[in-house]
Amino acid sequence: MKKQEFTLHFLASELGATLIGESMSEVCGISTLQSAQSNEISFLANPAYEKFLTETQATAVILSPDMAEKYQAVLSDKVILVHNNPYLAYAQISHFWDKPTMKVVGPAYISNSACIHPSAKISANVYISEGVIISAGAIVHKGAVIGPNCVIGEDSIVGMNSLLHANVTLYHGVTIGDNCILHSGVVIGSDGFGFAPDKKQWIKIAQIGGVVIEDDVEIGANTAIDRGALDNTLIERGVKLDNQIQIAHNVRVGQNTVMAACCAVAGSTTIGKNCVIGGASGIAGHLTIVDNVHITAMTMVIKNLKEPGIYSSGTGVQPNAKWRKSIARLRQLDKMAARLKVLEKKLTSHN
């Protein structure tokens, strides 16, 4: 299928960018500087890729004002779109060439193989795919798209224009807000990990809370969010979660926080607004992290973070031989500290 073409004048207008060059030239895709073809547009957002700017085959490039001024003469055969934030511009126009897997067109579509309880409320103009199960008391709002083999549990709600890709499972009492995207394999509302010790066995604690996902949230493939033990687990508006993340019971994730793949957040922890959590990080339970915290990849958080800023733990990668020496020295720190105290006392007594 031929990709749709857009004039650079149109794209610049959509972005609020300034055009330098032929405005009526057309492009049919967006790509990296390295791989772009002569009928595509590209962008420079990371200085590490500046070296590819003069070699790109792209018809047009999106540059910051500084880069545009620096390279305008060199790129005289290109069209330049000047934008204050080239990465944001890329994000915005990428949707022009996106290929949605499912969409609602016209009247509601409900597959004959879908199993919908008579008490469920299905709004107009929804798309319900093959093999979907919608349980008693569930509500699916206008414009929602439910992919193949999804399960929506009792009294759960799917908001307007939200998209559930194939094989998403919502347990009972889950609320999904408007304009959310849940990718394949997501499980919302499974039991939290709650057990009380009784001599030589563990007694399960009933997880009687729910999960609330607010508007404009995106959740990556195979991510799991547990229901609350008593109160709801809450994912606030605008949160973006990557693939294979574990959010435990009664966690609260603040507005516009983003979390990269393979993170785990233990129960009853509160994460503030506008935080960035790097991949494979672990956050212990019953903690509070304030707004505007950036946690770098593979960090272990075991105490409250009370001030905004960047936090890290662990050690950077080294050749194995150097790492082994570093670990050997680390194990000697207690002895070294004790010897240092002895030397300090001797120096003090001499003075």
Q: Which residues are catalytic?
A: 249
Q: Determine which helix (DSSP H) or strand (DSSP E) holds 244, and give its type and residue range.
A: none
CA 24 to mean position of chain CA atoms: 36
Separation of first and last alpha carbons in the chain = 86
Return d(Cα 308, Cα 10) in angstroms, integer.
Answer: 40
Q: Which two tokens stand for residue 162?
A: 């939200």
Q: Which amino acid is at 65?
A: P
Q: Which two tokens stand for residue 91?
A: 């994000």
Residue 186: is it exposed, middle or buried by C-beta count within 10 angstroms (0-12/13-18/19+)? buried
Return d(Cα 124, Cα 107) in angstroms, integer.
Answer: 7
Number of neighbouring beta carbons within 10 Å of residue 205 = 15
DSSP state of 217: -
Backbone angles phi, psi at 123, to 5 degrees: -75, 170
CA 27 to mean position of chain CA atoms: 29
Query: Pick from 100, 102, 128, 101: which is nearest to 114 by CA?
Result: 128
Residue 63: is it exposed, middle or buried by C-beta count within 10 angstroms (0-12/13-18/19+)? buried
Q: Please state whether beta strands 79-82 and 18-20 pair in parallel, antiparallel, or not at all (unpaired).
A: antiparallel
